A and B are shown apart, each in its own frame.
Chain A
Amino acid sequence: MIDFLNKNIDGISKEKLNNVCKININNNFDDILLINWENLSLDCNLEIIIKENVKIKLLEMGTVKGKCIYRVKENATLIHNFIFLASGGDAFKEIFLDKDASWEGINADLSTENVHFILHCYLKDENSKGYFKLSTLSKNQCKKVFDINFIHETKKTISSMENYGVVQNEASLSFLGVGHIKKGTKSSQARQSAKIMIFDKLCKASASPILKIDENDTIASHAAALGKINDEHLFYLMSRGISESEAKKIITLGYLNPILPHIFDEDLRKSVEKYILERL
């Protein structure tokens, strides 16, 4: 992994303008680019520009106060992991996608603190694609909000998000966010699905993903499911001899584990898996 923020790295150039730190990523990296916010803070807004045709994997550990902007230029690809294992906090991200650009955001959140994550992904030009997938666990007295938005500004743009959450004890969890398909953005697609498994009486959970569609020629889908563990699933597992408590655990892991194949670093994937098991 390359910890690039405070180091000089070939292929990465930096400039500071007024209150903005700009980082240009000028060529491909096979290695993962890392920002570990657990021991960093920002004294400016951060802007990361992924140059035309460049493909990178960017890993951010934890959150940071202050705005981060990501500009994915023509035909560039940003594969993005947001992993919150320890501290929670606020995060505000904006993603801008140019022609043929694609962004894949993967968020595994097992932090034991409040989280307020706001993300706006702008699909600015044709054939840009945005994808977001979240697994989160909110327990004890945590309050967690994920406000994930996709804004389709041109035709032939595709967005998709899948948010999965488990809420326990007295914690709260809400999935907000809008998929906005603006007028004139023909042949665009927006998919949203949100699922929250609610464990205890005092939990608060809400999933209100909204699709705002101003264009007729679009494909949009939209699903939200909130509820207790499914009795039929429980019966099925128990009918094979699995105890009630283990069956519940297996079914709940089924909510959170599908994030794992999307975590690009193998060691990190193993530790996320371990955290999911331990924290549940």
Chain B
Amino acid sequence: MKKLEIKNLHVSVEGKEILKGVNLTINEHETVALLGPNGHGKSTLLSVIMGHPKYQVTEGEIFIDGEDVLKLTVDERSKKGIFLAMQYPSEVPGVINSDFLRASINAHRETPIKLFEFYRELDKVSKSMDIPMDMATRYLNEGFSGGEKKRNEILQMLLLKPDFIMLDEIDSGLDVDALNVVSNAIEEMQNNNSSLLVVSHYARLYSLIKPTRAVVMINGKIVVDGSAALIDRIDKEGYEWIHKELNISIKKDENKMNNVSIGTCAVKNAIKK
């Protein structure tokens, strides 16, 4: 992938506008940190790029290397190299994980992968992810712990080697060792020339994967687009300065989910004013 462009994107869900004119371009080899308080539309943006049917795009465009992404079905987007590691991966009963992984790989190939080759690859990648092989024989995400689900997402990323990778809070629920394993996998993709768009609330993941740029989403818009130095600033100061310097009032998340986040306190302070 050379370039992903999002132009004036407006998105609603069940009649409520969530994204209100997002503009964002991601170039080849970039790792972009997507920051912002809870409930401001980060997951929505990622899901819309992937093509989740729940969201209606009411205005705007998304292009990948000049091609209209919004015209493509979800599976076609995947075949163009777009990948989303989900914040909450679905549990799919009765579907054996390895069958799903093999079908995913085959969807990206002309001829089906040989069984022997598949298991060799799976074994290699599972080992690098510290995933026991028996996870492949379990039902897809069913009864997986939070950390196992996240690692299973990264395992899929490694198997599919996508060009444009979106990671939605991939580090939540991971212990220090798992975080290192995941960041090594991300580094492998960076070396593989993939571009990344990464949502996280923790400076720790970012310090490991070293984004080349950071953007901040507030109230359904990208309001700041700058260098990776933004991450440290927000980690230390929260989002209050955005309120002060840019005079943007920050909407409170009605159904807040995550208490520990970069700048949570600052958001609360900003709202009190």
Contact = CB atoms under 8 A, between A and B. Distances in A.
Interface in B194-223: none
Interface in A189-241: 230-233, 235-241
A240 B92 contact: no
Given A242-B103, A244-B73, A250-B99, A237 B54 contact: no
A138 B7 CA distance: 48
B160 A240 contact: yes
Interface string B106-140: 01100000000000000000000000000000011
A251 B90 contact: no
A258 interface: yes
B139 A254 contact: yes
Contacts of B103: 237, 240, 242, 246, 250
Contacts, number: 81
B95 interface: yes
Interface in A248-262: 250-251, 253-258
Given A238-B74, A239-B50, A241-B78, A254 B89 contact: no
A240 B104 contact: yes
B156 A254 contact: no
Interface string B81-108: 0011010011011111001100110011
A239 B94 contact: no
Given A240-B100, A241-B75, A254-B139, 16 more contacts: A235-B52, A235-B90, A236-B92, A238-B75, A238-B78, A239-B83, A240-B107, A240-B156, A240-B160, A241-B107, A244-B75, A250-B103, A253-B95, A254-B92, A255-B93, A257-B94
Nearest to B50: A239
Contacts of B3: none
A235 B53 CA distance: 8
A229 to B, nearest CB: 11
27 contacts: A164-B94, A230-B90, A233-B90, A235-B74, A235-B90, A236-B90, A237-B92, A237-B103, A238-B51, A238-B75, A238-B78, A239-B50, A239-B74, A239-B78, A240-B100, A240-B103, A241-B79, A241-B107, A246-B103, A247-B75, A250-B99, A251-B95, A254-B93, A254-B140, A255-B94, A257-B94, A258-B93
B172 to A, nearest CB: 18
A232 B95 contact: no
Interface residues of A, number: 25
- Which among A232, A239, A251 has the highest number of chain B CB atoms within 10 Å? A239
Contacts of A253: 94-95
What band does the interface of chain B fall in when counting residues whose beta carbon is under 8 Å from A? 20 to 34
A254 B53 contact: no
10 tightest A-B contacts by CB? A254-B94, A241-B107, A241-B78, A240-B104, A238-B74, A254-B95, A236-B90, A238-B75, A232-B90, A233-B92
A258 B94 contact: yes
B100 A237 contact: yes
Contacts of B83: 239
